[in-house]
Structure 1
Protein backbone atom coordinates (compact mmCIF):
# COMPACT_ATOMS: atom_id res chain seq x y z
CA UNK A 1 0.00 0.00 0.00
CA UNK A 2 1.42 3.36 -1.05
CA UNK A 3 -0.24 6.29 0.68
CA UNK A 4 0.57 9.90 -0.02
CA UNK A 5 2.71 11.12 2.90
CA UNK A 6 2.76 14.87 3.44
CA UNK A 7 2.92 17.55 6.10
CA UNK A 8 -0.24 17.84 8.17
CA UNK A 9 -2.40 20.88 7.40
CA UNK A 10 -4.99 22.61 9.63
CA UNK A 11 -7.74 21.06 7.50
CA UNK A 12 -6.47 17.63 8.67
CA UNK A 13 -6.77 18.31 12.42
CA UNK A 14 -10.23 16.78 12.91
CA UNK A 15 -9.37 13.71 10.83
CA UNK A 16 -6.11 13.25 12.77
CA UNK A 17 -7.99 13.52 16.08
CA UNK A 18 -10.54 10.91 14.95
CA UNK A 19 -7.78 8.66 13.62
CA UNK A 20 -5.86 8.58 16.93
CA UNK A 21 -9.08 8.12 18.89
CA UNK A 22 -9.94 5.08 16.75
CA UNK A 23 -6.38 3.71 16.61
CA UNK A 24 -5.80 3.83 20.37
CA UNK A 25 -9.45 3.27 21.43
CA UNK A 26 -9.18 6.26 23.77
CA UNK A 27 -8.73 10.03 23.44
CA UNK A 28 -5.36 10.49 25.22
CA UNK A 29 -3.17 10.44 22.11
CA UNK A 30 -5.66 12.53 20.12
CA UNK A 31 -5.73 15.18 22.88
CA UNK A 32 -1.92 15.03 23.15
CA UNK A 33 -1.52 15.90 19.46
CA UNK A 34 -3.98 18.80 19.78
CA UNK A 35 -2.12 20.13 22.84
CA UNK A 36 1.35 19.74 21.31
CA UNK A 37 0.36 21.71 18.21
CA UNK A 38 -0.15 24.72 20.52
CA UNK A 39 3.32 24.39 22.10
CA UNK A 40 5.42 26.66 19.91
CA UNK A 41 8.64 25.52 21.60
CA UNK A 42 8.13 21.79 20.99
CA UNK A 43 5.94 21.58 17.87
CA UNK A 44 7.62 21.36 14.47
CA UNK A 45 5.00 21.59 11.70
CA UNK A 46 7.27 19.82 9.19
CA UNK A 47 7.43 16.78 11.51
CA UNK A 48 3.66 16.32 11.82
CA UNK A 49 3.00 14.03 8.87
CA UNK A 50 -0.15 12.39 7.55
CA UNK A 51 -0.61 9.42 5.26
CA UNK A 52 -3.62 9.67 2.97
CA UNK A 53 -5.27 7.35 0.52
CA UNK A 54 -7.77 8.85 -1.91
CA UNK A 55 -7.56 12.12 0.05
CA UNK A 56 -8.60 10.39 3.29
CA UNK A 57 -6.19 10.61 6.24
CA UNK A 58 -5.36 7.05 7.31
CA UNK A 59 -2.18 7.64 9.34
CA UNK A 60 -0.37 10.29 11.37
CA UNK A 61 3.01 10.63 13.03
CA UNK A 62 4.36 13.40 15.21
CA UNK A 63 7.91 14.24 16.28
CA UNK A 64 8.33 17.01 18.86
CA UNK A 65 11.35 18.63 20.49
CA UNK A 66 12.47 17.23 23.82
CA UNK A 67 15.47 17.84 26.04
CA UNK A 68 17.90 15.42 27.61
CA UNK A 69 19.15 16.87 30.89
CA UNK A 70 22.54 15.57 32.07
CA UNK A 71 23.38 15.03 35.73
CA UNK A 72 25.42 18.26 35.70
CA UNK A 73 22.54 20.27 34.19
CA UNK A 74 23.61 20.38 30.54
CA UNK A 75 20.68 20.43 28.11
CA UNK A 76 20.76 18.50 24.84
CA UNK A 77 18.00 18.76 22.23
CA UNK A 78 16.46 15.65 20.72
CA UNK A 79 13.12 14.57 19.27
CA UNK A 80 10.34 12.39 20.66
CA UNK A 81 8.46 10.17 18.25
CA UNK A 82 4.93 10.13 19.67
CA UNK A 83 2.37 9.23 18.69
CA UNK A 84 2.15 7.27 15.47
CA UNK A 85 -1.33 6.04 14.63
CA UNK A 86 -3.01 4.30 11.72
CA UNK A 87 -6.74 3.90 11.13
CA UNK A 88 -7.82 0.45 12.33
CA UNK A 89 -8.89 -0.64 8.84
CA UNK A 90 -5.40 0.17 7.51
CA UNK A 91 -3.30 -1.27 10.34
CA UNK A 92 -0.81 -4.01 9.47
CA UNK A 93 -0.45 -2.68 5.90
CA UNK A 94 2.94 -0.99 6.35
CA UNK A 95 1.60 2.57 6.61
CA UNK A 96 2.99 3.05 10.13
CA UNK A 97 6.45 2.00 8.97
CA UNK A 98 6.25 4.30 5.95
CA UNK A 99 5.34 7.20 8.25
CA UNK A 100 8.25 6.37 10.59
CA UNK A 101 10.72 6.21 7.69
CA UNK A 102 9.39 9.45 6.17
CA UNK A 103 9.54 11.19 9.54
CA UNK A 104 13.09 10.03 10.22
CA UNK A 105 14.19 11.23 6.77
CA UNK A 106 12.52 14.62 7.30
CA UNK A 107 14.05 14.98 10.79
CA UNK A 108 17.51 14.29 9.31
CA UNK A 109 16.89 16.81 6.54
CA UNK A 110 15.94 19.43 9.15
CA UNK A 111 19.25 18.86 10.94
CA UNK A 112 18.09 16.94 14.00
CA UNK A 113 20.60 14.42 15.33
CA UNK A 114 18.53 11.95 17.39
CA UNK A 115 15.08 10.58 18.19
CA UNK A 116 13.76 8.97 21.38
CA UNK A 117 10.74 6.65 21.42
CA UNK A 118 8.79 4.80 24.07
CA UNK A 119 7.43 1.88 22.14
CA UNK A 120 7.24 -1.79 21.31
CA UNK A 121 10.60 -3.47 21.83
CA UNK A 122 10.22 -5.71 18.75
CA UNK A 123 8.84 -3.07 16.34
CA UNK A 124 11.09 -0.02 16.61
CA UNK A 125 14.45 -1.85 16.28
CA UNK A 126 13.45 -2.48 12.62
CA UNK A 127 14.04 1.24 12.12
CA UNK A 128 17.39 1.29 13.92
CA UNK A 129 16.21 2.13 17.44
CA UNK A 130 18.15 0.58 20.32
CA UNK A 131 17.64 0.84 24.09
CA UNK A 132 18.52 4.40 25.14
CA UNK A 133 20.42 3.03 28.13
CA UNK A 134 23.23 2.43 25.60
CA UNK A 135 23.96 6.16 25.96
CA UNK A 136 22.92 6.49 29.59
CA UNK A 137 19.65 8.14 28.59
CA UNK A 138 16.73 7.48 30.93
CA UNK A 139 12.99 8.07 30.89
CA UNK A 140 11.61 10.51 33.48
CA UNK A 141 9.44 7.68 34.87
CA UNK A 142 9.85 3.99 35.64
CA UNK A 143 9.56 1.76 32.56
CA UNK A 144 11.36 -1.35 31.31
CA UNK A 145 14.59 -0.22 29.59
CA UNK A 146 13.91 -2.28 26.46
CA UNK A 147 10.86 -0.13 25.54
CA UNK A 148 12.69 3.21 25.86
CA UNK A 149 14.84 3.58 22.76
CA UNK A 150 16.99 6.03 20.86
CA UNK A 151 18.10 6.47 17.28
CA UNK A 152 21.06 8.47 16.05
CA UNK A 153 20.04 10.37 12.91
CA UNK A 154 23.66 11.22 12.20
CA UNK A 155 26.76 9.26 13.10
CA UNK A 156 27.48 9.69 16.83
CA UNK A 157 24.35 11.85 17.19
CA UNK A 158 24.07 10.81 20.84
CA UNK A 159 27.78 10.55 21.61
CA UNK A 160 28.66 12.18 24.95
CA UNK A 161 24.95 12.75 25.67
CA UNK A 162 23.41 11.17 28.73
CA UNK A 163 20.77 12.09 31.25
CA UNK A 164 17.03 12.10 31.73
CA UNK A 165 14.55 12.96 28.99
CA UNK A 166 12.38 15.98 29.66
CA UNK A 167 9.16 15.83 27.66
CA UNK A 168 6.99 18.86 26.97
CA UNK A 169 4.43 19.37 29.76
CA UNK A 170 1.63 18.21 27.44
CA UNK A 171 2.85 14.60 27.82
CA UNK A 172 2.00 14.69 31.54
CA UNK A 173 -1.71 14.59 30.68
CA UNK A 174 -1.34 11.22 28.90
Structure 2
Protein backbone atom coordinates (compact mmCIF):
# COMPACT_ATOMS: atom_id res chain seq x y z
CA UNK A 1 0.00 0.00 0.00
CA UNK A 2 1.17 3.49 -0.78
CA UNK A 3 -0.22 6.81 0.38
CA UNK A 4 -0.20 9.53 -2.25
CA UNK A 5 -1.94 12.72 -3.22
CA UNK A 6 -5.20 12.42 -5.08
CA UNK A 7 -4.64 12.31 -8.83
CA UNK A 8 -6.73 13.70 -11.68
CA UNK A 9 -8.55 10.44 -12.44
CA UNK A 10 -9.11 9.31 -8.85
CA UNK A 11 -12.37 11.05 -7.99
CA UNK A 12 -14.85 8.42 -9.23
CA UNK A 13 -13.07 5.70 -7.25
CA UNK A 14 -12.68 7.96 -4.20
CA UNK A 15 -16.42 8.70 -4.22
CA UNK A 16 -17.18 4.99 -4.61
CA UNK A 17 -15.07 4.24 -1.51
CA UNK A 18 -16.84 6.97 0.47
CA UNK A 19 -20.27 5.77 -0.64
CA UNK A 20 -19.40 2.18 0.35
CA UNK A 21 -17.97 3.23 3.73
CA UNK A 22 -20.91 5.51 4.62
CA UNK A 23 -24.37 4.17 3.73
CA UNK A 24 -25.96 7.61 4.16
CA UNK A 25 -25.19 10.06 1.31
CA UNK A 26 -24.05 12.88 3.63
CA UNK A 27 -20.29 12.26 3.43
CA UNK A 28 -20.21 11.78 -0.36
CA UNK A 29 -22.20 14.99 -0.87
CA UNK A 30 -19.91 16.84 1.53
CA UNK A 31 -16.82 15.51 -0.23
CA UNK A 32 -18.08 16.65 -3.64
CA UNK A 33 -18.65 20.13 -2.20
CA UNK A 34 -15.24 20.18 -0.52
CA UNK A 35 -13.53 19.32 -3.81
CA UNK A 36 -15.25 22.35 -5.38
CA UNK A 37 -14.66 24.75 -2.47
CA UNK A 38 -12.14 27.58 -2.12
CA UNK A 39 -10.89 25.88 1.04
CA UNK A 40 -9.85 22.69 -0.80
CA UNK A 41 -6.12 21.99 -0.37
CA UNK A 42 -4.94 19.53 -3.06
CA UNK A 43 -1.85 18.54 -1.07
CA UNK A 44 -4.14 17.33 1.75
CA UNK A 45 -6.41 15.10 -0.32
CA UNK A 46 -4.72 11.71 0.09
CA UNK A 47 -5.49 8.20 -1.10
CA UNK A 48 -4.31 4.80 0.08
CA UNK A 49 -3.59 2.71 -2.99
CA UNK A 50 -3.02 -1.05 -3.26
CA UNK A 51 -0.18 -2.47 -5.35
CA UNK A 52 -2.72 -3.23 -8.11
CA UNK A 53 -3.82 0.44 -8.22
CA UNK A 54 -7.09 -0.02 -6.33
CA UNK A 55 -7.96 2.87 -4.03
CA UNK A 56 -8.51 1.49 -0.55
CA UNK A 57 -9.18 4.74 1.32
CA UNK A 58 -9.23 8.51 1.17
CA UNK A 59 -8.89 11.44 3.53
CA UNK A 60 -9.38 15.14 2.89
CA UNK A 61 -8.34 18.07 5.02
CA UNK A 62 -9.54 21.58 4.22
CA UNK A 63 -8.89 25.10 5.46
CA UNK A 64 -10.54 26.04 8.71
CA UNK A 65 -10.05 28.81 11.25
CA UNK A 66 -9.79 29.30 14.97
CA UNK A 67 -11.15 32.81 15.26
CA UNK A 68 -9.15 34.50 12.47
CA UNK A 69 -6.13 32.19 12.73
CA UNK A 70 -5.59 29.46 10.15
CA UNK A 71 -6.24 25.87 11.11
CA UNK A 72 -7.34 22.72 9.29
CA UNK A 73 -10.52 20.66 9.39
CA UNK A 74 -9.99 16.92 8.94
CA UNK A 75 -12.46 14.72 7.12
CA UNK A 76 -14.21 12.92 5.91
CA UNK A 77 -11.89 9.92 6.05
CA UNK A 78 -13.11 6.68 4.50
CA UNK A 79 -11.77 3.17 4.03
CA UNK A 80 -13.40 0.62 1.73
CA UNK A 81 -15.36 -1.84 3.90
CA UNK A 82 -13.24 -4.83 2.88
CA UNK A 83 -10.06 -3.07 4.06
CA UNK A 84 -11.19 -1.61 7.37
CA UNK A 85 -9.25 -2.52 10.53
CA UNK A 86 -6.14 -3.31 8.49
CA UNK A 87 -4.18 -0.10 9.08
CA UNK A 88 -5.38 1.84 6.02
CA UNK A 89 -7.04 4.59 8.06
CA UNK A 90 -4.04 4.85 10.39
CA UNK A 91 -1.68 5.18 7.42
CA UNK A 92 -3.88 7.95 5.99
CA UNK A 93 -3.93 9.73 9.35
CA UNK A 94 -0.15 9.57 9.81
CA UNK A 95 0.39 10.84 6.26
CA UNK A 96 -2.09 13.69 6.76
CA UNK A 97 -0.42 14.79 9.99
CA UNK A 98 3.04 14.63 8.36
CA UNK A 99 1.85 16.58 5.29
CA UNK A 100 0.17 19.27 7.42
CA UNK A 101 3.32 19.59 9.53
CA UNK A 102 5.42 19.82 6.37
CA UNK A 103 3.23 22.67 5.15
CA UNK A 104 3.75 24.59 8.39
CA UNK A 105 0.11 24.33 9.46
CA UNK A 106 -0.58 24.97 13.16
CA UNK A 107 -3.43 22.60 14.02
CA UNK A 108 -5.92 19.99 12.89
CA UNK A 109 -9.44 19.60 14.24
CA UNK A 110 -11.89 16.76 13.81
CA UNK A 111 -15.37 15.80 14.88
CA UNK A 112 -15.14 12.08 15.44
CA UNK A 113 -14.64 9.02 17.57
CA UNK A 114 -13.13 9.53 21.00
CA UNK A 115 -11.87 5.95 20.71
CA UNK A 116 -10.02 6.45 17.40
CA UNK A 117 -8.48 9.92 17.11
CA UNK A 118 -6.68 10.17 20.48
CA UNK A 119 -4.22 7.49 19.29
CA UNK A 120 -2.88 10.13 16.88
CA UNK A 121 -2.51 12.75 19.62
CA UNK A 122 -5.91 14.45 19.34
CA UNK A 123 -7.27 15.88 22.58
CA UNK A 124 -10.61 17.51 23.42
CA UNK A 125 -10.45 20.83 21.56
CA UNK A 126 -11.73 22.81 24.54
CA UNK A 127 -8.57 21.79 26.44
CA UNK A 128 -6.69 23.89 23.86
CA UNK A 129 -9.17 26.79 24.05
CA UNK A 130 -10.85 25.83 20.78
CA UNK A 131 -14.64 25.95 20.85
CA UNK A 132 -16.79 23.81 18.53
CA UNK A 133 -19.30 25.32 16.12
CA UNK A 134 -21.93 23.28 18.01
CA UNK A 135 -21.49 22.96 21.80
CA UNK A 136 -23.35 19.62 21.84
CA UNK A 137 -20.36 17.97 20.14
CA UNK A 138 -18.55 17.88 23.50
CA UNK A 139 -15.52 15.59 23.68
CA UNK A 140 -16.09 14.37 20.10
CA UNK A 141 -14.70 17.70 18.87
CA UNK A 142 -10.93 17.24 19.08
CA UNK A 143 -7.79 19.06 18.06
CA UNK A 144 -4.15 18.25 17.42
CA UNK A 145 -1.42 20.84 17.91
CA UNK A 146 1.06 20.55 15.05
CA UNK A 147 4.70 21.70 15.08
CA UNK A 148 3.80 25.30 14.14
CA UNK A 149 1.08 25.59 16.81
CA UNK A 150 0.98 28.90 18.70
CA UNK A 151 -0.42 28.23 22.21
CA UNK A 152 -2.14 31.63 22.42
CA UNK A 153 -4.63 30.89 19.64
CA UNK A 154 -8.11 30.47 21.12
CA UNK A 155 -11.67 30.86 19.94
CA UNK A 156 -14.43 29.25 17.96
CA UNK A 157 -13.50 26.91 15.14
CA UNK A 158 -15.00 27.54 11.73
CA UNK A 159 -15.03 24.77 9.13
CA UNK A 160 -14.84 25.41 5.39
CA UNK A 161 -18.08 26.58 3.79
CA UNK A 162 -19.43 23.15 2.67
CA UNK A 163 -19.71 22.03 6.30
CA UNK A 164 -22.35 24.75 6.79
CA UNK A 165 -24.68 22.83 4.43
CA UNK A 166 -24.87 19.70 6.59
Equivalent residue in structure 1 for 2:94, among 93, 101, 111: 101
Can you give the 5+ residue segments of structure 2 that lack an aligned partner in the other structure? none
Q: Say whether the 8 Å CA contact 1:84–1:96 is kept in structure 2.
A: yes
Q: Tell me, what secondary structure is at the counterpart of 2:100?
A: helix
- 1:104-119 superposed matches below 5 A: 104-119=97-112
Q: Say whether the 8 Å CA contact 2:73–2:160 is kept in structure 1.
A: no
- 1:11-160 superposed matches below 5 A: 11-40=9-38, 42-53=39-50, 54-69=52-67, 75-154=68-147, 157-160=149-152
Q: Say whether the 8 Å CA contact 1:16–1:30 is kept in structure 2.
A: no
Q: How high is the TM-score relative to the length of structure 1?
A: 0.91
CA distance in 2, matches of 1:96, 1:158: 28
Q: Tell me, what secondary structure is at the counterpart of 2:99?
A: helix
Q: Tell me, what secondary structure is at the counterpart of 1:33?
A: helix
CA distance in 2, matches of 1:35, 1:59: 18
Q: Say whether the 8 Å CA contact 1:135–1:158 is kept in structure 2.
A: no
Give the aligned partner of residue 72 of structure 1.
Answer: none
Q: Say whether the 8 Å CA contact 1:20–1:87 is kept in structure 2.
A: yes
Q: Tell me, what secondary structure is at the counterpart of 1:61?
A: strand
Can you give the 5+ residue segments of structure 1 that lack an aligned partner in the other structure? 70-74
Shift of 1:158: 4.4
Q: Say whether the 8 Å CA contact 1:62–1:81 is kept in structure 2.
A: yes
Shift of 1:145: 2.1
Q: How high is the TM-score relative to the length of structure 2?
A: 0.95
The count of aligned residue pairs is 165
